[in-house]
Every structure is written in C-alpha cells, then in structure tokens.
Structure 1
Amino acid sequence: MKKIGKSSEPVALTEFRDQNPDAQWKALRDTGPYLEIKQQIFQDQGHLCAFCETELPEERSNHQRVEHFHPKSDVSNPDHNWTLDWENMIGVCMGGSRQTEADKVNYQLPENLSCDAYKDHLISAGEIPEACEGYVLNPLRIINTPCLFKFDLRTCELRPDPEACARLQDIDNSYDSLETLVAETIRILNLNCSRLVDDRREVLKFFNQAAARARKANNRHYKAQLAERWFRHRWPSFFTTRRILLGISAEDWLIAINYQG
C-alpha cells in the first residue's frame, strides 16, 4: 500500500451531488458521471489498486472497481452522503474474485481473496466491523515517506516497519500501536496471500537477475538505473516492493520527482 495523492473533485461529481444530494450508488452508476469519476480515481492512483498495488490499466476496466473506505450505506448523518464523498472513494482490484481456470487450481478461495474482497469476507463473518476506520490503514491518509512496510526476501511477504510506523501521526487507530495497525491492515486485506506473494516473488526474481548482470558487468549504478526505469511513469505494479528493494536509490529518485503519493 502506498500513499494516494488525490486530485480535486471532478466538476461532474460536484454538479451531480448538488442536483441529487441524496443519491445512492446505483443512481450515480446508472445516471451520473460514474465512468468519469472512475477514470479520475485510477488516474490519480497511477492505475494501481489502492491496497495491493496490482496494475489496473484502462484496457482492463472490468477489473477495476470503486471502493468507499467508509461504508456508503451509512446514512446516520443526513447532512453527509458518504456515497458521493470524493474523499471517500478509492480504486481497487477485484481481489482475486475473478479467477481463470488456472487460478481456481492454484489459488483456492477465500484464502486467496485480497483487498476489499477479503475485508468483506471478514465483515460477513463478523470478525471486523463494517466501518473499518481505525482497523485498516486509509491509503489517502498515510505518509508518503518513509515507507511503512518491510519486504521479507525469503517469504516475499510484507511486514510493518516499526521505525516508519513511529512517523505516522494523526490517523484513526483502534489498536495499541501504529505498528499493530499496519500489521492488521496486512491481515485484514490479506496482502500476504499466496497469489500476491507469488506476484511479488516475480518482482524479486527480476531484481535479482538485474543485480546479477550488474555484478558481472561491474555496474555499481544498477539500482539508480532501475529506479529511473521503474518510477519514471506512474506507477509500476507492486510499487512498495520495488521501492524497498531499491532502498536509497528509490528514495533519491522519488525525492527528485517530488513524490507525493
């Protein structure tokens, strides 16, 4: 998970809400500027899932969906419509729920669901509340630097970075520490399911091959070169994994481009 830098609210959404202040999601999808909103959300995110960082290009729009971080079903405040709240919308993947025949063999469900699909599974099971503020990190509110995660080179799993977690302030937290919040976010979104671990392992494999070629060529600048290759466009899949692997070279590149998420 990385910080999301969100653009200003689309004018079309503002106009729709002004005309239909009580509209719910079906009305927005059927008669409102849904496609424009969805396109802007994924453009803001560099076409990555807000949770697992799977790449979701425009041509795979059927694998993209809009998630409301706070439940859009909450109508407790008549003056606030969570459905039409731009700051409550993020773009996510289908969480492994759309499987090929090979996927069905290799990645059993529900243990290989992820992101909001797995979160919804836990909500349905009564393990977590529907309103997840304080239980799951909001990618709109986390810090852009430093990265909150560590990457286990042996297992290809994500872990909390305690030092980075200590830098995160002013965020909803229902646990006794921010490190626990990050760990629970990984668990609730199932970011270490086998399917995502295998995808991250492919990134590590590519990195190791590049490092081996660099050693053979006595190239000491390969990390900086990879940073330029990976981060010159917004954004490569599994951004956080790549960022951790490149270390200071990634941070230098991101500083140079004024990375804000």
Structure 2
Amino acid sequence: MDSFAERIQDEKWYYFVGRGASSQAFPRRAWEREKGGTSGILFGEGSRFHEPKRFRVPASENQSCGEAKGNKVPGIDIDILKPSELPPAPPLFSISRHGIIRVNEANCRQAGIEPGKAENTIRELNLNCERLIDARMEVLEKLKNTYENEMKRLGETASDEEIRDLQMSLAEQFLFEKQEYLGEFFTTIRSYFGVAAEKVLAKFR
C-alpha cells in the first residue's frame, strides 16, 4: 500500500483513490508527490493547511493505511480496493461535514465496484480514526471560510453564473495546488466542491 499511499495517513488514501484514476485520466505529474513524514508534510511549515497540533506521531488507535494494514496482503489476506480498480469518475468516496469518509454506493455500482469492498477498504485502513476525522475537519473549515469570504467579495447581487465561476475557480485552485500537482486533501476538496470539482477534473481526462 505504501507505494501509492503518500501524504497524511488518510490523505495517503486520498492519493490512493486518485492514483488509480491518474493512470487513466490525469497527467502523471499530478500524482507524483513527494513521500515521507505524512503529517509533517500536510501540516508542517510551508503547507497550505499548516496546523502544529496535527504534527504528531499517531497513537496505535490512530494508525491508518499501511500502519493499520500491517503485513496483510490485499487480495489475499484482506479484500480491499487496488489502485488499478479505481475509475477517474465517478468518485467512489465522499466526506461528510463531520469529516467522515463514506462510500458512495450508487457510484460504486455505476463503476462496477462492489460497495462492500470499498467499505472494507475504509475499515481495514482505519480511515475514520479520530485523528483523520479531525484533520479533515480542519480542511473543511478552511475551505468553507475561503468560499464565504469570496462570496462576500462578489456581493449580494452576484449572478448565478458568477457564483458558478467562483466555485470552479476555487475548486481548481485547491485541487491543483501547484500547477499540475494535485493539492493536499484531494478527496476532501473534491467532495466539498462537488459538481464544480468534477467539471474541473473532467478537463484533464
């Protein structure tokens, strides 16, 4: 799992979700992120989501992805999704307003994926541990504040078209933080911006 699991523990998962799609849909560079200390990369100095209180080694109950999986072999010891099984669209996972990652069963069936296998992936990789939920909530709060501030700049007389353009602009800004590279917390951002995010990503398919 670690070969495609980069960044923070659950955002490792987000990039896992994306990497399967990337080989089919997105520029390769977009998915080639640096590896290393996960929470330090996402919440350390220079990160868009810098949060010193998140820069810590997880307790055993907060281990996720490769740490949670241990030596179990996907497809043999555990039945979880592989990167090659993940479509560029529709998204198989969403993030609730409480920071919980969930399976979109309808999208799974549309993509020919067994929803139970997606559920197993969340459970086996411990993607809803408290640490990861807290991290997602931090990101969601920042996205919400940014959107609300930009809406205030547009003013109360903003047209529907101007609002849609703003959503598209912000979705692209956060999804692709640095040129062709996907931003941190990809799945959280994708879920937050919804239709706007899917329209942005469709341009790269």
- TM-score normalised by length of structure 1: 0.54
- The whole-number CA distance in structure 1 between the counterparts of 2:142 and 2:199 is 21
CA change 1:102–1:238 in 2 (3 A) is closer
**What SS does the corresponding residue of 2:91 show, helix, strand or coil?**
coil
Find the counterpart in structure 1 of residue 7 from structure 2. none
Measure how far apart 1:63 and its partner are: 3.1
Q: What is the SS of the residue equivalent to 1:242?
A: helix
Bigger CA radius of gyration? 1
Residue equivalent to 1:210: 146
Residues 1:3 and 2:18 are matched in the alignment: yes
Q: Give, in angstroms, the shift of residue 241 of structure 1.
A: 1.0
The answer to whether structure 1 residue 135 and structure 2 residue 79 are counterparts is yes
2:128 to 184, 187, 192: 192
Give the superposition deviation at 1:166: 0.5
- Specify the alignment match of 1:46 in structure 2: 32
- Runs of 4+ aligned residues of structure 1 deviating over 6 Å after TM superposition are none
The residue type paired with residue 63 of structure 1 is G
Match of 1:116 among 41, 60, 66: 66
Provide the rounded CA distance (Å) in 1 between the counterparts of 2:136 and 2:123: 17
Answer whether contact 1:3 1:141 (CA < 8 A) is retained. Answer: no
Answer yes or no: is the 8 Å Cα contact 1:156–1:197 preserved in 2: yes
Asked if the contact 2:190/2:198 (under 8 Å) is kept, the reply is yes
Distance, in Å, in 2 between the alignment partners of 1:226 and 1:138 is 30
The 1-side partners of 2:31 and 2:125 are apart by 18
Deviation at 1:206, TM superposition (A): 1.2
| Structure 1 residues 3 and 212: CA distance shift in structure 2, 3 A | closer
Q: What is the CA-CA distance between 1:228 and the residue it aligns to?
A: 2.1
User: Cα deviations across residues 106-145 of structure 1 (Å, max 9, x unaligned)?
Assistant: x4x211111011011xx5xxxxxx3321611112221110
- Residue of 210, 234, 256 corresponding to 2:181: 234
Determine whether 1:156 maps to 2:99.
yes
Which runs of 5 or more structure 2 residues have no equivalent in the other structure? Answer: 1-13, 42-52
Q: Given the alignment of the two structures, is residue 248 of structure 1 paired with residue 201 of structure 2, yes or no?
A: no
Task: Name the SS of the counterpart of 1:143 in structure 2.
Answer: coil
CA-based RMSD of the aligned residues comes to 2.8
Equivalence for 2:44: none
> Structure 1: where are the runs of 5+ without partners?
8-41, 48-56, 65-92, 94-99, 124-129, 172-177
Q: Please give the secondary structure, in 1, of the residue aligned with 2:81.
A: coil
Instruction: Point out which structure has higher relative CO (alpha carbons under 8 A, 6+ apart).
Output: 2
Q: Secondary structure at the match of 2:183?
A: coil
| Structure 2 letter corresponding to 1:103 | R
| Letter paired with 2:182 | W
Higher helix share: 2
Amino acid at match of 1:208: K
| Matches of 2:54 and 2:191, distance apart in 1 | 33
Structure 1 62/211 Cα, relative in aligned 2: closer, same or farther at 3 Å?
closer
Structural mapping, 1:60-75, within 5 Å: 61-63=35-37
Match of 1:223 in 2: 167
Q: TM-score, normalised by structure 2?
A: 0.67
Secondary structure of 1:145's counterpart equals coil
Alpha-carbon distance in structure 1 between the residues aligned to 2:54 and 2:167: 37
Separation in structure 2 between the aligned mates of residue 224 and residue 213 of structure 1, nearest angstrom? 15
Aligned to 2:137: 201
Code of the aligned partner of 2:172: E
